[in-house]
Amino acid sequence: MLGRADNSLTSSFLSGVGKTMAATDEVYLGYTTDEATTPFLRDFLDALAEGTLMKSVCTECGREYLPPREHCQDDLSKCELEEFEEREAKLYSYTIVDFAPETLSSKAPYVVGIGEFPSGLRLTAHITNLMSVPEIGMDMKLAFDEVDERLVTYKWLV
Amino acid sequence: MQSSSLRLPSLMCRNLDIRKMRFSMMARKVGVVAAGHAKFGKRLDATMRELSAEAYKPIYDAGITQDMIDATVLSYAASQFSGQGAGSALIADYLGLHEKPHLRVESACTTGTASLRAAWGMVSAGLYDTMLVLGVEQMNRVSSAKATEYMSQAGDMRWEYPYGISFPAFYALMASRYMAEYDLPHEVLSKISVKSHHYGAQNPYAHLPRTVTVEEAHNSVPITRPLNLYDCSLISDGAAAIVIAAEEKAKEFTDEPMWIKGIGAGASSMMIQDRESLTSIPGAKSAAKAAYDMAGVGPEDIDMAQVHDCFTIAELIAYEDLGFAEPGKGRELIENKEVYHDGSIPVNCDGGLKSKGHPLGATGVSMVYEIYSQMRGEAREPSRQIDDVQIGLAHNVGQSGQFVNVFILERGW
Ligand SMILES: [Zn+2]
């Protein structure tokens, strides 16, 4: 289990995590790229703004995707968005990014984690409330961050 | 692949192995007949065009002038760095390859070997007899943070990049998982860095030719934990070039050609979270299998390997993906020094991407250059010259495994 305090951590790491928690910067899910927002992605982001995470389900074969995609990888049929209700996950892998790409330099260090839900679906997001070095397999909860009234992103809490 | 064998008359197929026939009857044997290398480093004295000329010059000096080259692949990975679009035209002009057909192939860090794979196809099919393959990258004219950002754009721009998953972060995600699954201490990764720097210090083309101790490597500043500075390859400028020719033509250039014996290519899922395992690179395993099958050899036949050590964890995983060690046992090769130049399977005795440098588009060509010069006994220092290289392997991975090329190269004399 994850200890709540770890003396081996530097104070700069802890303060850095605090910075990551204050998620108000310009870099956000689906908003940093030049890729145009599609109606499908717009629906996903609108649902997220209401605090609902959507997965996608293939209308032909039923395969599920997280993060969602508009076309099924297997048969290229259209997928439909459905509410994703799982919240508990285990940490599959992580990294603490000390040296960040230029756009995110002010937020470093921040922690990126891949969580695995009991259903087997995985999700990649920031872990934002760590008090010590993460441990593979530890329990995490999915949570949401409201950036403004139109912009919400998902994140991991331990 | 399937369709070409289907077209053969069924009588011919009956008692023959289709795979062998495909290569012996339908493809010309192709060899590397000359090679050139620019100094890797922070080359603010040069841009893509000057670096390209530096890599081609030794080939020209060896007597292979522009009029002897039928066509070229002139490639770099990221146009963001130079702002130059369609740059193969610029490079071809700069090198004086007037009116020679050229093209650019791009696949992130495998741009160099993808270029060679494309050129091999054209020469083996008989479209051209002699081709120049040149890989180049100029990365140091922007800050490290900017370069990191450009490289991060090789991740999924919608679902990964916004979380700031840089290129080192992808490999750190693999390292975390590998270290947890196999209980691997970070010091083992540091030992790979120590080896790379040991050999880089002896390579005149290396970007960072100095040695490092396990303690220094282990305690260096964190970049993307668990990886630190000495786990990461360098942001480098540089170029490398080779000339390939069909067997009939090769004899006109050299008595010592290096045959391209096996080519394997593979791919892995775009998002790293979607991979079943993070302790190996699926595309690398399939690429290795394809290359071994085509060459008719196995991992035990390889005398030396150049592997894609963009990060120390990548080299460790490569030992296993290439079949030099069982899954989880790669550490034994570095701990027992089997991957040193006098060990059972020498790996990256030129300093690797870690110490020699990693100018994206040049890297794969530079790997082939190193095998060619080791085979010819031209590694200069006896302390890094590998004994009697008959078969070499180059393993080049792009992004975090979305592209992989493996080449098996054979001494032709
Ligand atoms: Zn489907």
Q: Give the tens place of pLDDT for each residue, B324-341.
A: 999 999 999 999 999 999
Q: Is the pLDDT of residue B47 over 80?
A: yes
A73 → chain B, closest CA residue: B269
State CA B351 to chain mean position distance. 13
CA distances to A18, A19, A134, B178 from A14, rounded to whole Å, are 6, 9, 13, 25
- Nearest by CB: B165 against A112, A136, A137: A112
Q: Is the pLDDT of residue A100 over 70?
A: yes
Q: Which of B80, B144, B150, B163 to mutate to test the interface with A (most CBs of A within 10 A)?
A: B163
Cβ pairs bridging A and B (under 8 Å): 116
Minimal C-alpha gap between A83 and chain B (Å): 18
The residue ranking higher by pLDDT, A23 or B395, is B395
Taking a C-beta distance cutoff of 8 angstroms, is the pair B7, B105 a contact?
Answer: no
Q: B374 C-alpha vs ligand 1 centroid, how far in Å?
A: 50
Q: A56 C-alpha vs ligand 1 centroid, how far in Å?
A: 10
CB pair distance less than 8 Å for A33 and B162: yes
Minimal C-alpha gap between A72 and chain B (Å): 14
Q: How confident is the model at residue A49 (pLDDT cuts 50, 70, 90)?
A: confident
- Looking at residue B275, what is its pLDDT? 97
- Looking at residue A152, what is its pLDDT? 80
- Nearest by CB: A35 against B148, B157, B274: B157
- Looking at residue A8, what is its pLDDT? 28
- Looking at residue A13, what is its pLDDT? 28
A33 touches chain B (CB under 8 A): yes
Q: How confident is the model at residue B18 (pLDDT cuts 50, 70, 90)?
A: very low
SS (H, E, C) A30-87: CCCCCCCCCHHHHHHHHHHHCCCCEEEEECCCCCEECCCCCECCCCCCEEEEEECCCC
Q: Which of B225, B235, B276, B313 to mutate to test the interface with A (most CBs of A within 10 A)?
A: B225
CB < 8 Å to B177, chain A: 92-93, 136
B317 touches chain A (CB under 8 A): no
Q: Is the pLDDT of residue B302 over 50?
A: yes
- Looking at residue A11, what is its pLDDT? 27
- Distance CA(B312)–CA(B223), nearest Å, equals 13
Taking a C-beta distance cutoff of 8 angstroms, is the pair B281, B397 a contact?
Answer: yes
- Looking at residue B132, what is its pLDDT? 98
CB pair distance less than 8 Å for B164 and A107: yes
CB < 8 Å to A133, chain B: 225
Q: Is B346 helix (H, G, I), strand (E, B) or coil?
A: coil
When mean pLDDT is compared across B25-39, B97-111, B115-129, the lowest value belongs to B25-39
- Looking at residue B381, what is its pLDDT? 84
Q: Which two tokens stand for residue A119?
A: 């259903």
Q: Is the pLDDT of residue B378 over 80?
A: yes
Q: What is the pTM of this model?
A: 0.91
End-to-end alpha-carbon separation of chain A, Å? Answer: 11
ipTM value, please give it. 0.90
Within 10 angstroms of residue A98's Cβ, the number of other Cβ atoms is 20
Ordered by where they begin, the domains of chain B are 26-141+234-411 (3.40.47.10)
- Nearest by CB: B225 against A92, A98, A100: A98
User: What is the spatial order of strands in the sheet that B304-306 belongs to?
Assistant: B102-103, B71-75, B130-137, B238-246, B30-37, B258-266, B403-411, B391-398, B304-306
R_g of chain B computed on alpha carbons:
20
- Distance CA(B64)–CA(B67), nearest Å, equals 8
Strands B391-398 and B304-306, by their bridges, are parallel
When mean pLDDT is compared across A48-52, B130-134, B225-229, B267-271, the lowest value belongs to A48-52
The residue ranking higher by pLDDT, B97 or B15, is B97
- What residues of B are annotated to the active site? 109, 358
Strands B391-398 and B403-411, by their bridges, are antiparallel
When mean pLDDT is compared across B15-29, B161-175, B220-234, the lowest value belongs to B15-29
* Average pLDDT across chain B, whole number: 93
Residues of chain B above pLDDT 90, percent:
87
Q: How confident is the model at residue A145 (pLDDT cuts 50, 70, 90)?
A: confident
CB < 8 Å to B143, chain A: 102
What is the four-CA torsion angle of A125, A127, A128, A131, rounded to 10 degrees? -170
Please state the rounded mean pLDDT for residues B214-222. Answer: 98
Q: How confident is the model at residue A37 (pLDDT cuts 50, 70, 90)?
A: confident
- Distance CA(A123)–CA(A152), nearest Å, equals 16
Please state whether the peptide bond connecting residue B226 to the residue before it is cis, i.e. omega within 30 degrees of 0.
yes
Q: Which two tokens stand for residue B198?
A: 């040991």
Please state the rounded mean pLDDT for residues B356-372. Answer: 98
- Nearest by CB: B224 against A34, A99, A125: A99
Q: How confident is the model at residue B85 (pLDDT cuts 50, 70, 90)?
A: confident
- Distance CA(B265)–CA(B255), nearest Å, equals 29
CB pair distance less than 8 Å for A92 and B273: yes
- Looking at residue B15, what is its pLDDT? 44
Q: Is the pLDDT of residue A146 over 50?
A: yes
Q: A55 C-alpha vs ligand 1 centroid, how far in Å?
A: 14
CB < 8 Å to B139, chain A: none
When mean pLDDT is compared across A56-60, B88-92, B141-145, the lowest value belongs to B141-145
Strand partners, A143: A155
- Looking at residue B25, what is its pLDDT? 53
Q: How confident is the model at residue B4 (pLDDT cuts 50, 70, 90)?
A: very low
Please state the rounded mean pLDDT for residues B105-130. Answer: 98
Q: Greatest CA separation found in chain A?
A: 53
A27 → chain B, closest CA residue: B162
